[in-house]
Amino acid sequence: MDAKPLSVLLQDLRDERAAEVPFPPGETRVSLTRTRRFAAEPLPMLLDAYERFGPVFTLRLFHSNVVFMLGPAANHYVTVSHASNFTWREGHFRDLIGLMGDGLLTIDGEFHRRSRMIMLPAFHHKHIAAWVDVISEETNRALDELAPGAHLDLYAWTRRLALRVAMRALFGLDPDGELARAVDAAGLFEQGLSFYSSEYLLRILRTPFSPWARMQQAARKLDVIIYGEISRRRATGQRGSDILSLLLDAEDEDGSRLSDRQIRDEVMTLLFAGHDTTTSTVSFMFYELARHPAVVERLLAEQDEQISGQGPTAPQLTSGELEQLEMVLDETLRMYPPAWIGPRRSVEAFEFEGHAVPARAFVNYCSWASHHLPEVFEDPEEFRPERFTPEGRAALAKGAYVPFGGGSRTCIGMRFGQLEVRTIATLLLSRFTLSLADGFKLSVRQMPTISPKHGLPMVVHERARAPAAGLPAAA
């Protein structure tokens, strides 16, 4: 949102009043109670509305009507078959531009297509396999700090680990170097993204000490790292296998180079996406494993059977050869998709499932809610990794399972994120077992990603079986 948020909100209202077709059925009266409830617990609200109104419905949240589209057909419609009729930049996460700038996450249309083409080579499977060593080294370093009997917040532990990995693999920056040590990047991302856990009314403010001011402060401090490294690389000519090196030398389709600002925006976006989703997924995975010891036993049996004393191989981690772990990862992403909602805005009016939706309407698909529909996933509140056997996956309807979005906006770092989660989980399980702290009750926080609201306090225990060794060099 720009520096005049009130004018943006007024334009939203004008667009709504100018609608030439009615909004789908739902709850369209102004209600601060509904708005606050949605901010605190959106999942039960959306599932209830789905039961009452069907796969497309309207909820008035804060100042405007918002159309929600749930279910496999809705996910496919928004992300694939009619994706060109929706923009991201003017949706409900538009304030992220204040932190991310114009990176892949916040841009649309031709600019998005050209930017994605520049980025794609860095996420080729050969590059991803080469990052196994980095992830392994950082994970083992973090695990060396743990011991049986220790208490830790797994969410905070994983955030620090994942950000170190992102700095090295995506940015080519030494996380122990002087520049990185001068700035608490993990804390700054937490500070910036806390904008989305503040009251809706407070998000409008652009005053000192407002949530917006805190997000801007975090962005400026993170810029010290990013612009500093861009400047150093340009001056020295140093390059590596990281994303920053690629961007510094990349040429657009017309032969022009990216500006420092464009590079900064892409790096900021990848640093955010490259650690935040991994942090949430690892946390939720081990929350569920702590509650399902039989699943842990299957994972440990798989490790003992398939992983040699030299540790898991790069192919095992990049291709999903560890089937039990792969099913646990898939089920975790079903129950807790980090990018839980896909905020969009319609370009032109359209019809879906017998209901018209106006042009310029806020339209959201929601993987979190869609993944909890009982007609799609039986007993959706139960953690059942066996849903994702090869046969079970093949039987899923198109659009039923979309933890990474779909179509041209499928998360570009999806394979990297999966590799990172597999590696962290495999190495952690090879050395320790984790249990939940006494009395802990999970509460989920909704920001651009979902995460444990109060962290994830756990207790470290020694693994019963002999641990596997560290990862070998990637082939």
Residue 55 near residue 73, CB atoms below 8 Å: yes
Q: Which of 450, 452, 466, 456 is nearest to 435 (CA)?
A: 456
**268 in Cβ contact with 222 (< 8 Å):** yes
| pLDDT attached to residue 465 | 63
Query: Whole-number mean pLDDT of the chain?
Result: 91
Q: 429 with 303: CB under 8 angstroms? A: yes
According to the model, what pLDDT value does residue 240 have?
85
For 110-124, give the DSSP string: HHHHHHHHHHGGGGS
Tell me the C-alpha distance between 127 and 130, whole Å.
5
Question: Can you give the pLDDT at residue 466?
Answer: 43
Quote the crossing angle between the two packed helices 132-143 and 414-431, to the nearest 10°: 40
Q: Global pTM?
A: 0.92
Residue 26: C-alpha distances to residues 57, 63, 66, 440 (Å): 5, 15, 10, 36
- In the chain, the domains with their CATH numbers are 5-462 (1.10.630.10)
Residue 41 is predicted with a pLDDT of 94
- C-beta separation of 263 from 248 below 8 A: yes
**What is the mean pLDDT for each group of 10 consecutive residues in the chain (475 residues)?**
76 93 96 93 97 98 95 98 95 90 91 87 80 92 96 96 89 81 83 87 89 94 91 92 86 80 91 86 98 96 87 84 96 96 97 97 98 97 97 95 93 90 96 96 92 96 64 38
Among candidate residues 279, 275, 302, 299, the one with its CA nearest the CA of residue 289: 299
Cβ(357)–Cβ(16) under 8 Å?
A: no
pLDDT, tens digit, 9 for 90 and up, residues 287-336: 999 999 999 999 999 999 998 777 788 888 987 789 999 999 999 999 99
pLDDT at 457: 98
DSSP letter string, 138-185: HHHHHHTT--TT-EEEHHHHHHHHHHHHHHHHTT---TTSHHHHTS-H
| pLDDT at position 475 | 33
Locate 443 and state its tokens: 């509460």
For 225-255, how does the pLDDT look when each residue is reduced to its tens digit (9 = 90+)?
899 889 999 999 998 888 888 889 887 777 7
Which pLDDT value is given to residue 3?
Answer: 55
